[in-house]
Structure 1
Amino acid sequence: MQLTETKLKGCFLIEPTVFEDKRGYFLESYNQKAFNEGVGSNVNFVQDNESYSSRGVLRGLHFQKGEFAQAKLVRVIKGKVLDVALDLRKDSTTYGEYFSVELSEENKKQLFVPRGFAHGFVVLSETALFAYKCDNFYNKSSEGGIMYNDSTLNIDWQLNPDEFIISEKDLILPSFESLSL
């Protein structure tokens, strides 16, 4: 597996080694030793999550605060999404900047989103099966978010906004500038 740090310190794009032949393919999606060596820290994942969504479903931008902050290792098993990580670490040189990447069943890429980041994705294919590991357990009272169409961030979600399918909860998230962490 190849780990490449993105423009956001601590946020890594991961490309697994894929072995293909006439039967199909095989890949190692996670190896704790190789992963921790690659990211340069000891990350202990404790929870796996999965979501299934239709084209245009936009989930995010979400994060967990305080002692329940979560690092995530995200990937797409079926379909294609635009995945977005936003740096919320106030002491970071890339605070307020985001990184986006297409994750798909074809490219098999993964993204490691460290603690202190918001995360979201939009489904670009007909449907998508999205899976992710978290290094901390979910805690409802610690959840936070930022409006997906925040004008300060100006994220290009690659779809016409008329196609978006967004939860009521995500439609009332605060702006980046009004965020208090």
Structure 2
Amino acid sequence: MKIRQLSVEGAWEITPQQHGDPRGLFVEWYRFDALAEAVGHPLRLAQGNLSVSARGVVRGIHFADVPPGQAKYVTCVRGAVLDVTVDLRVGSPTFGRWEGVRLDDVDRRAVYLSEGLGHGFCALTDDATLSYLCSATYNPAAEHAVHPLDAELAIEWPADGPRLSARDAAAPTLAQVRDSGLLPDYRACRSFVAGLRPDGMSYSDGI
């Protein structure tokens, strides 16, 4: 397993080693110890999600309030997507920067995003299926979105006429979300991540 930090601070690309023969294939697509060594703490597994999208669908850019935020470990188990990480943390040296990684069922890469980062993707095939491991359960009151076609972000989506959900199509621009005070604070995110215990829990959880 190879783990490479992306240009957006707090995001990593994971490339697993595949073992195949005429019978089929075996791959360790997630290793808590290897990820913990790279990011500094284990991923707390609180929820698992599966997302299926048709070709040309764009989902995102979604983010959560920090604390507690929602770290994500994302891989594509069927088809292919362009997975996009966006730095939405005000005060971050990479604020507003995005990076895309192709996730597919050939190389079977994954992406890990730490708390405070925005996430989205574009389906490159029909029935593109993403699997998410999340550090926190879904909390609609703490979930927000930035319009994925915002000119300030200038994400190069590989789709002619991206298909958006009603929620994403109505999402505010980055400037509007920033002015509203909803964007995560870089120092607060760094402090939260630094306070995670060796088991991935926050010391403030009191568990």
Question: More displaced, 86-95 or 149-158?
Answer: 86-95
Equivalent position amino acid for 2:13 in 1: L
**Alignment match, 1:121:** 121
**1:35 shift after superposition:** 1.3
Equivalent position amino acid for 1:8 in 2: V
Equivalent position amino acid for 1:176 in 2: L
Question: What is the aligned counterpart of 2:169 among 152, 163, 171?
Answer: 171
Q: Secondary structure of the residue that 2:107 maps to in structure 1?
A: coil
CA distance in structure 2 between the partners assigned to 1:66 and 1:3 by the alignment:
25
Equivalent position amino acid for 2:50 in 1: E
TM-score normalized by structure 1? 0.95
Q: How do residues 108-147 of structure 1 correspond to structure 2 at under 5 angstroms?
A: 108-147=108-147
Check if 1:48 corresponds to 2:48: yes
Asked whether the 8 Å contact 1:68–1:138 carries over to 2, the reply is no
Q: Secondary structure of the residue that 2:35 maps to in structure 1?
A: helix
Asked whether the 8 Å contact 2:66–2:115 carries over to 1, the reply is no
C-alpha RMSD of the superposition: 1.1
**1:87 shift after superposition:** 0.6
**1:10 shift after superposition:** 1.7
Q: Secondary structure of the residue that 1:90 maps to in structure 2?
A: coil
Check if 1:65 corresponds to 2:65: yes
**1:68 shift after superposition:** 3.9
**1:126 shift after superposition:** 2.1
More helix as a share of residues: 2
Equivalent position amino acid for 2:80 in 1: K
Q: Which runs of 5+ in 1 are unaligned?
A: none
Deviations 1:29-78 (A, max 9, x none): 11211110122223212111001111111111111113341010001000
**Alignment match, 2:79:** 79
TM-score normalized by structure 2? 0.83
CA distance in structure 2 between the partners assigned to 1:109 and 1:48 by the alignment:
17
CA distance in structure 2 between the partners assigned to 1:68 and 1:123 by the alignment:
28
- Count how many residue pairs are aligned between Structure 1 and Structure 2: 179
Deviations 1:142-161 (A, max 9, x none): 11000011000100001112
Asked whether the 8 Å contact 1:53–1:129 carries over to 2, the reply is yes
Q: Secondary structure of the residue that 2:13 maps to in structure 1?
A: strand
Question: More displaced, 24-33 or 144-153?
Answer: 24-33
Check if 1:153 corresponds to 2:153: yes
Q: Which runs of 5+ in 2 are unaligned?
A: 183-207
Q: Which 4+ residue blocks in structure 1 deviate beyond 3 angstroms?
A: none
Question: More displaced, 20-29 or 33-42?
Answer: 33-42
More strand as a share of residues: 1
**Alignment match, 1:3:** 3
